[in-house]
């Protein structure tokens, strides 16, 4: 789902190492599932940042400078 969007927007895709991890035991399966979650979260973060950059660009083009500054401050926030 996120992979197709990243490829469509020509954004870098995180390495998908979870598909190569062994899943023979419960512990290995748990590690693989955690890795899948981590990879999905990275893809979500990249998509959100890209969409925010698009919104900033559109705000500047539309003359909404305060909104663009606010959105830019969100991108600068390490939590976002």
- 28-74, pLDDT tens digit by residue? 999 999 998 998 898 888 898 899 899 999 999 999 999 899 888 88
Question: Nearest-CA neighbor of 59 among 50, 44, 70?
Answer: 70
Half-sphere exposure of 76 (CA within 13 A, CB side): 7
Name the pLDDT band for 5 (thresholds 50, 70, 90): confident
Tokens encoding 15:
């390495």
pLDDT at 61: 93
Name the pLDDT band for 1 (thresholds 50, 70, 90): low
pLDDT at 16: 72
Name the pLDDT band for 25 (thresholds 50, 70, 90): very high
Q: What share of the chain is helix, strand, coil (3-state, %, to 5)?
A: 70, 0, 30
């Amino acid at each position: 789902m996120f992979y197709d969007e990243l490829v469509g927007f020509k954004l870098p895709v995180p390495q998908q190492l979870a598909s190569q991890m062994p899943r023979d035991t419960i512990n290995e399966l748990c590690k693989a599932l955690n890795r899948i979650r981590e990879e999905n979260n990275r893809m979500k973060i990249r998509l959100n940042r890209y969409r925010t950059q698009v919104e900033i660009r559109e705000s500047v083009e539309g003359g909404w400078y305060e909104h663009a500054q606010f959105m830019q401050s969100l991108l600068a926030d390490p939590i976002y």
